[in-house]
Amino acid sequence: MNDAIKHSHVEVNGVRLHLAEQGEGPLVLLLHGFPESWYSWRHQFAPLAEAGYRVVAPDQRGYARSSQPEDVDAYTLLHLVGDVTALIGALGEERAVVVGHDWGAPVAWATAALRPDLVRGVAGLSVPPVTAGPGPLAAARENFGEGFYQIYFQQPGRADAELAADLRSSFRRILGGISPEGKPRPWVVPEGQGLLDSVPEPERLPDWLTEADIEAFAADYALHGERAFTGGLNWYRNIDRNNELMAAFAGRRIEAPALYVAGEQDLVNAMIAPEVVTYLLEHLTPRLHRHVRLPDTGHWTQQERPAEVTEALLDFLKTLD
């Protein structure tokens, strides 16, 4: 087995996706979230490959080394699921285990729900499976106010410019400054402040994050210049449209074996109560293998707790084999 991560590109659905790959065996796709890239899975490549799996982590549509469609409407959940399904075929495979973190989790859950023929198993980190409901952005505005980050992201160009102005500072603030200490709270921008004003730059990075990691993320994002974050932000700008497009599948269960992993201090817990998460898992994932809760862990699950996440994934993968 080659112990080095290989990099390549593949074109699917008119989008050029960058891939990081290691190992041989059954395919495991790792889907990152916002604002991340393939690099967020850096700790999982070698252990999964050594266990006998072909590990592939794409930079998803609009991110890092992948191409960035201009049209905001090109980032719906159906587009993203389409990229995953096409990628499985482009890799010469018939089926895959699909693992997603943050925004990658909804893509993984939706792929498993809509294309059960392609998905051997599905794992979500941080974000549980959800079902379509009335007006998610309106509900967010009512619950958290106009400064809630998902509402803030709807303004064309505003967050894009703030985040792209200093890439390294943006990554230090978002990855290192959203602390897991204390009770989880939603990301809300106070009135009159900018996005990054609400996340002070940390005096020192957390133990799990290094300056080399910051540089790796920033270097890949720099390829898109002033639009470094625009592709990822466009995912948020389709939240209500996704809800409309997925209405026909509301309540559809995920029949593939499933795994859910989340940190107890994850900010998602401030948006989706733990009892709601439990309800969703019980009703939408009838073949749930485990619900893993990681103490003293924030939102960046596989980076903060690489050993525990890798162990949970390997345990899950063994049950599929």
Query: Catalytic residue positions?
Result: 102, 299
Grouping H, G, I as helix, E, B as strand and the rest as coil, residue 192 is: coil
Which two structure tokens, joined as six digits, stand for 316? 């899950």
Tell me the H-state helices in 122-272: 136-144, 149-152, 158-164, 167-177, 211-221, 230-236, 239-245
**Contact present, 84 and 29 (Cβ < 8 Å):** yes
DSSP annotation of 182 reads: S
50 vs 48: CA distance, rounded Å: 5
- Nearest-Å Rg of the Cα atoms of the chain is 18
CB atoms within 10 A of CB 221: 27
**Contact present, 61 and 79 (Cβ < 8 Å):** yes
Between the CA atoms of 15, 16, 22 and 24, what dihedral angle is there, to the nearest 10 degrees? 60
For helices 77-90 and 104-114, give the axis angle rounded to 10 degrees: 70
310 vs 200: CA distance, rounded Å: 30
15-22 and 6-12 beta bridge pairing? antiparallel
Beta bridge partners of 292: 261
- Phi (first) and psi of residue 288, to 5 degrees: -65, 125
